[in-house]
Structure 1
Amino acid sequence: MSSALRLLLDANRGDRNNIELSRDCGGVPTHSRIQQIGNRPMRVFPDPPTLKGLARGLNVTVEQIIAACAADLDLPMGAPDSSALVLGGARSLPESSQQLLVSLSREMMRLSDVSTSK
């Protein structure tokens, strides 16, 4: 099982076992959590103390940890969302008009989801 976080972990752990790595992370994540990270697919985004601890213990940036977690959860990061529609000048509209556009967009997406699921 190969994941971006697992690859980052393997590339930066050196010869440390999970107990030693957890110590170098400041105790968060625990050695058992490091074992889970290395052997199970990620289902939820780690909490901030875990992200910071891994960055500390692996001697990488928090941004690298976040990017690896986002990749494992199939969350786009950095590049523009190709499904987004930008409406030039919409931010200069009154708040009520902006909310109307957002509501309209949500309703159109909901209707599109309903029609494609039938």
Structure 2
Amino acid sequence: MAKAARAAQAWRAYRNVTEPGSPGLGTRLRAIPKLIGAVMRGRYPGMSRSKLATMGFGVLYIISPIDAIPDFLVLIGVVDDFGVFLWLMGSLLGESGRYVDWERGQVRASPS
């Protein structure tokens, strides 16, 4: 994904987080472990395990000492990690926001 597309995705995630009525940043961050568990158990239909695995590979890429562009190429080497970080945060914030909305709908739909 191009740098501009990653930056645009991060900007959309920021706008979604700050939109009135939308789950806030703290709510989205707290929902991530529940989102992962729900996807792994097959209880959340909004996200596939393959997308979760892709996000997991993104985390591994960021923390791994092996990079497509080595970090010893100071500025260039850090840019690829930052691009993956932007994609990952945009994806996680977007998915966790959709999960929170879905979860709220499940609570409203369930009989009391």
Question: Shorter-chain TM-score: which interval?
Answer: under 0.3
Which structure: greater helix fraction?
2
- For normalisation by structure 2, the TM-score amounts to 0.25
Q: TM-score, normalised by structure 1?
A: 0.24
